[in-house]
Amino acid sequence: MLSDINSAHTVKWASGLVSIGMEVKVISIAKPIGSENNFHFEYDTLGLNHSITRKNSSLQKLKYLSFYFLLRKHIKHFQPDIVHAHYASSYGFLSLISLYRPYFLSVWGSDIMEFPKRSIIHKIFLQQILKNAKVIFSTSHFMADIIEKSYNLKASVIPFGIDTEVFTPCKRTTDKLVIGSIKGLEEIYGLTTFFKAFALIQNELTIPIEIQIYGSGSQLNQYQNLCEELKIDKYVKFNGRIDFSKVPVTMASFDLLINLSKRESFGVSVLEASSCGIPILLSDISGLKEVYINGKTAISCQVDNVFDTAEKLKKLINNDALRYEMGCAGRKFVQESYEWIDCLKSLQLAYKDNT
C-alpha cells in the first residue's frame, strides 16, 4: 500500500487486510507522528515530516520524483503481488513513477474534487494517473460519477466500511442532551452555521444541553470568539483533536451528531454515528446523500442556511422518540449496507479478479 501512515483510513485498511490473511506493507511519504505506533503491519517511509506533506503546491508534488530510487528499492525488497495507492494526486503519482504495473488506485475526495480544478495542467496530470491504474476504487458513487463524467473511466465503489462491533450503542452517562461534532475546525465543515442556529433557539430549550466539539484546525479562536458573541459559550466545550481509537466511545456518548459540511465526498462520521445508534443533523450536499435516509436515519437541512438548520435542530432536540427511532434505523442501515468485513471482502475479491 502506498498511503499516508498518519491517516486513520490507511491504518484501518492495512490492519483489516492483515486480519483476513493478507501480508501488507505500507510505504508512506511522511514519518509516523509519535514515538509509539502499534501497527499490525509492516511499514517504511520516504522520510518527509508530516507537516511538509500537508503542503499542496505543484512544486511539492514534483519533489516526489526524488523518491524514485528509494521507492523502487522498497517495492523490490517486499516483492508485492499488488501495489495499491490511496489518494490519487500524491500516492497515485508515486505509483505512476514507480513503473510498477499494474497498480490499483483509490480516490478519497479532494484528490479528484479539488486538485484538477487548479489548472488544465493539474487535470491532465491526474488523468494520466487514473488512466494508468489497473482498477480505480472510489469510496462513493458520487465520486465514481465524477470520474466517469470527467475522464470517461469506470471506478469500482468500495466504501469505507464501519465495524459495527466497535461502533456500537452504549448506555447514557449524563442527564444532559449531548450534541457532538468530530470534524476539523475549518469553515468548510459548517460549524459557524450550527453555532448561529443554536443561538437562535437557545432560549426556547427546556432541557439541559451540552455541546462537545472534537477536532483541531485554523478556526479554533474564531469559533471560541463567535460562541462568546452569541452567548452560547456556556454550552460549548472545545476538546481538541481526538485519537481515532477513542472515536467509537466518544461518538456513542452523543445524543445527536452534527455534520453541516459545505463539501464532502462521502461521510464516514455519519455512518459511525448511525452505527452507534445516534441520529444526525446534516447538510443536504450531494456527497453525503449515500450515507443516510432523510427523515429515517437523519434529518437534512439546506447547506449554510441558519434558519432551516435552527428549525431542524429544534425538532430533533425536542423529540426523544424521534431521535431513538432514527438511531435504531441508522444502525440497521449501516449493518445492511456498510459492514466493514463486507467492504474488506469486496476489496479482496477485486484483487483476485484483477491479478
**Are 119 and 206 within one domain?**
no
Tell me how many domains the chain contains.
Answer: 2
**Are 152 and 301 within one domain?**
no
Q: What is the pLDDT averaged over residues 26-34?
A: 87
How far is the C-alpha of 123 from the C-alpha of 120, rounded, in Å? 5
What pLDDT is attached to residue 289? 94
Q: What is the pLDDT averaged over residues 27-41?
A: 81
Please say whether the dihedral angle defined by the alpha carbons of residues 264, 194, 241 and 229, taken in this order, is positive or negative. Answer: positive
**Are 313 and 348 within one domain?**
no
Q: What is the pLDDT averaged over residues 223-243?
A: 96
pLDDT grade, residue 60 (50/70/90)? Answer: low
Residue 179 is placed in which grid cell? Answer: 450534541
What pLDDT is attached to residue 36? 56
pLDDT grade, residue 52 (50/70/90)? Answer: very low
Of 172, 250, 184, which Cα lies nearest the Cα of 223? 184
Q: What is the pLDDT averaged over residues 102-119?
A: 91
Q: What is the pLDDT averaged over residues 91-117?
A: 91
DSSP assignment letter at 202: G
**Are 25 and 156 within one domain?**
yes
- Average pLDDT of every residue of the chain: 92
pLDDT grade, residue 56 (50/70/90)? Answer: low
Residue 202 is placed in which grid cell? Answer: 437557545
Buried residues in 299-335 as b, exposed as e (16+ CB within 10 A): bbbebebbebbbebbbebbeeeeebeebbbbbbbbbe
Burial label for 83, CB within 10 Å (0-12, 13-18, 19+), is: buried
Please say whether the dihedral angle defined by the alpha carbons of residues 232, 233, 239 and 241, taken in this order, is positive or negative. Answer: positive
Q: How many residues does the chain have?
A: 355
How far is the C-alpha of 337 from the C-alpha of 331, rounded, in Å? 10
What pLDDT is attached to residue 281? 98
How far is the C-alpha of 142 from the C-alpha of 113, rounded, in Å? 11
**Are 111 and 256 within one domain?**
no
**Are 44 and 107 within one domain?**
yes
CATH number at residue 329: 3.40.50.2000
What pLDDT is attached to residue 352? 94
How far is the C-alpha of 278 from the C-alpha of 298, rounded, in Å? 9
**Are 28 and 141 within one domain?**
yes
CB 233 within 8 A of CB 199: no
**Are 57 and 142 within one domain?**
yes
Question: What pLDDT digit, counting tens, does each position of 150-184 carry?
Answer: 999 999 999 999 999 999 998 877 889 999 999 99
Residues 6+ apart with CB under 8 A from 292: 267, 270, 274, 280, 282, 298, 300, 330, 333
Give this prediction's pTM: 0.88
**Are 131 and 188 within one domain?**
no
What is the domain extent for residue 47? 8-161+339-353
Q: What is the pLDDT averaged over residues 264-276?
A: 94
What pLDDT is attached to residue 244? 83
**Are 153 and 211 within one domain?**
no
